[in-house]
Amino acid sequence: MKLMYRLHLSFAILLVCILALAAVVIYPLMMETLIDGQRKEMREQGTQLMQIVQLQPSVALNTPYSTRTPWTETDPVVPKTESAPTKPEPALAESAAQLIPSAIQLDIKTNALLVEPDQKVSFSTLPQDQSLEWANIVKKNMTTGGDVWQGSDDQYIVEKLQVHNTTATATAVSAVPASTLVLTSPLSKIKLMQIALFKRMMILLSAGGLLAYLLSVIITRKLVTPLIMLRKELKKVENRRFSDVRLVKSAGEIGDVAKTVFQLAGELDKHQRTQKQFFQNASHELKTPLMSIQGYAEGIRDGIFIGEQADKGLDVIVNECDRLKKIVTEMILLAKLESEDGLFQTAAVPVEELVTETIERMNPLLMQKGLSIQVKNAAPSLQPLFIDADREKLLQALINIVGNAAKYAQDTIRIQITQHHDKGTCLEIADDGEGIPEELLPQLFQRFMKGKNGDTGLGLAISRAIVERCRGQISAYNQKDGGAAFVLHFPASQAVPLY
């Protein structure tokens, strides 16, 4: 499966899991919240109902319990027949009959029952048949029931309010045992509200999830499309079509990777062209002496060169063989420097001793050409400077560079030692010659790159390989007042010097 489709599927599964978790957590919490809201509404309506009752001075709530007409379980509503055990007073019945219309005017929809201390229902807003049923429910649950009572057809949320009854006489106010106002509301109504609210919430969450999914698709395409393009460019690298690689434009880390791939392709293309050029130059460098050797050898064999000419031809053959041997030796050394890890024995090498030994090795050539060499130590530290390097290999690199300067210098070669702010050591070898041709500078350290009076074209390439194996860098430039300068920069020494 492609990365884009896997991301889409993963995000879709994540959204489904989030919606499922939200449903599991929110659904019961919604029921609790609705029940709490319903209870609060029931308490408010119960308070209003008690206010209505208190405004009726002759109603049962404000009448001493001994003067009220008691209701039994078989007759929970206000008696309307003459066969009742005890007839209520006319004013009492009239006031009680006004309670339900007053409750309707105040939009009190909660069912209410007034329960006396002896658990008899003395007042109800329910119809007569339901009042009979609730008389039994009240008797069953008044003392043992919880906040939710089971009815014949449904469960009911129950809220109980204490009503403190008092009766006033001409001489005193006497307390009457407290009655309980029981308010009920069917739980099925709350469940219907819960389901309706939950459906709306899930619709909103699903719409939001769908929108988030569409956004994720757009974002994923923006993320994955550069990767797909980058894969195509890497295919070009795999097929060695380095010059065809194009930069994939993108932001963030993907853009950084694309730039790295583009730079890598450039370096590989450059290396490939260098390799081709190397083989061309190597074949030319090897072919020229071989042709000379072959020509003189065949001439001597066929008797074309005899006497002094034969001796001269033999000298040419020997010289060309020595040249071939030198080229092959340097090519093998360069290959080892670029590939073998065990070739270097790194240690802390004192810089001044290294420069002194280089000058001693080059003195015969310098005296022969009439050149002088100047050494300047501009390092601010009084302590000797060290370089982590293979002493013999780095000495060979310095000899190659000083020897190259000796070919083009007119009078003087200068060697300057400096220490950078990062504790690194810098060696600069300069001459007062004509300088390096500008077109040759970019390829100066490549193999078989020769300037005027060059030998094999491998000396500077070997020096570059040695310096880089010592974790250093080498570069060259033309000085403003004439002459070429080679700069060797090495990092601070980490090895322990050996004395």
Residue 71 has pLDDT above 50, yes or no: no
The pLDDT value recorded for residue 98 is 47
Supply the pLDDT for residue 454: 65
Q: Look at 131 and 93; give whichever has higher pLDDT.
A: 131
Instruction: For residue 474, give every residue at least 6 positions away whose Cβ sits within 8 Å of its Cβ, in sequence order, or none.
Output: 445, 463, 464, 467, 468, 486, 487, 488, 489
Where does the pLDDT of residue 275 fall: very low under 50, low under 70, confident under 90, or very high at 90 and above? confident
Distance CA 374, CA 356 (A): 11
- Mean pLDDT, rounded, for 184-200: 85
- Is 268's pLDDT higher than 80? yes
Cβ contacts of 461 within 8 Å, gap of 6 or more: 334, 445, 446, 447, 448, 449
Q: Using the 8-state DSSP alphabet, how is residue 440 labeled? A: T
What's the pLDDT at 1?
A: 55
DSSP state of 88: P
Least trusted range by pLDDT, from 199-208, 246-255, 300-309, 375-384: 375-384
In this structure, what DSSP letter does residue 66 have?
G
pLDDT band (50, 70, 90) for residue 446:
confident
User: Which pLDDT value is given to residue 108?
Assistant: 57
Between 121 and 409, whose confidence is greater?
409
pLDDT greater than 60 at residue 74: no
Q: Among 7-11, 29-33, 84-88, 172-176, which range has the highest average pLDDT?
A: 29-33
**pLDDT tens digits for 18-60?**
888 888 888 888 888 888 888 888 888 888 777 766 555 444 4
197 vs 65, more confident = 197
pLDDT band at 64 (very low <50, low <70, confident <90, very high): very low
65 versus 422: which is more confidently predicted?
A: 422
Q: What is the pLDDT of residue 54?
A: 57
Comparing 103-107, 219-223, 245-249, the range with the smallest average pLDDT is 103-107
Start-to-end Cα distance in the chain: 64
pLDDT the model gives residue 480: 87
Range list of β-strands (E), 192-316: none
Q: What is the mean pLDDT of the chain?
A: 76
Task: Please name the residue that has the structure tokens 């069953």.
Answer: 140
With bands split at pLDDT 50, 70 and 90, how would you rate the model's confidence at 93? very low
Q: Which residue has the higher pLDDT, 94 or 286?
A: 286
Q: Given a cut of 60, is residue 218 above it in pLDDT?
A: yes
* 34 within 8 A of 225, measured Cβ to Cβ: no
More reliable by pLDDT, 139 or 74: 139
pLDDT at 342: 65
Closest of 123, 116, 182 to residue 147, by C-alpha: 182
Q: What is the pTM of this model?
A: 0.48
